[in-house]
Amino acid sequence: MPQIERILCPVDFSEFSARAYDYAQSLARHYHAKLFLQHVIEFDLPIYDCYVPAAYMVEQLREIRIDAMAQLKEFAKRPADHGAPPERVLLEGVSAKTILSFAEVQKVDLIVMGSHGLHGADRVALGSVTEKVLRKASCSVLVVRRPEHDFVSPGSAQDPIQLRKLLLCMDFSEYSRAALEHAISIAAEYHAELSVLHVLEDMPASKDLRSVTQPVLERLEQAIPGEARGRCDIKPLVRIGKPYLEIIQEAAEATTDAVIMGVRGRNALDLAIFGSTTYRVIQLGPCPVLAVH
Residue spans per domain, the chain: 1-148, 155-287
Q: Does residue 35 register a pLDDT over 50? A: yes
Q: Is 59 left (phi over 0), alpha (psi -120 to 50) or beta?
A: alpha
The secondary structure of the chain in percent helix, strand, coil, rounded to multiples of 5, reads 40, 20, 40
Omega before residue 243 within 30° of 0, cis: no
The pLDDT score that the predictor gives to residue 229 is: 86
Domain 155-287 has CATH 3.20.20.105: no
Q: What is the average per-residue pLDDT within 41-51?
A: 66
The pLDDT score that the predictor gives to residue 182 is: 95
Q: Which of 59-68, 81-90, 226-235 has the highest mean pLDDT?
A: 226-235
The pLDDT score that the predictor gives to residue 162 is: 87
Comparing 137-146, 182-191, 241-250, the range with the smallest average pLDDT is 137-146
Q: Please, which residues bridge with residue 147 across strands?
A: none
The angle formed by the CA atoms of residues 9, 263 and 133, to the nearest 5 degrees, is 35
Q: Which of 117-131, 137-151, 176-190 has the highest mean pLDDT?
A: 176-190
User: What's the pLDDT tens digit per position in 193-242?
Assistant: 999 999 998 777 667 888 889 999 999 999 999 888 889 999 999 999 99
- The C-alpha atoms of residue 9 and residue 30 are separated, in whole angstroms, by 16
Q: Does residue 267 register a pLDDT over 60? A: no
The pLDDT score that the predictor gives to residue 154 is: 54
Query: pLDDT band for position 145 (50/70/90)?
Result: confident
- The C-alpha atoms of residue 60 and residue 55 are separated, in whole angstroms, by 9
Q: Which residues contact 53 (CB under 8 A, 6 or more apart)?
A: none
Which of 13, 11, 9, 2 shows the shortest CA–CA distance to 26?
9
The angle formed by the CA atoms of residues 151, 285 and 217, to the nearest 5 degrees, is 85
Q: Does residue 275 register a pLDDT over 60? A: no
Name which CATH class applies to 1-148. Answer: alpha beta
Statement: the pTM of the whole predicted model exceeds 0.75: yes
Largest interatomic CA distance in the chain? 78
Question: CA quadruple 48, 91, 145, 158: dihedral positive or negative?
Answer: negative
Q: Does residue 264 register a pLDDT over 90? A: no
Q: Which residues contact 152 (CB under 8 A, 6 or more apart)?
A: 162, 164, 165, 255, 257
- The C-alpha atoms of residue 126 and residue 203 are separated, in whole angstroms, by 32
How does the average pLDDT of the chain come out, rounded? 84
Q: What is the average per-residue pLDDT within 255-262?
A: 95
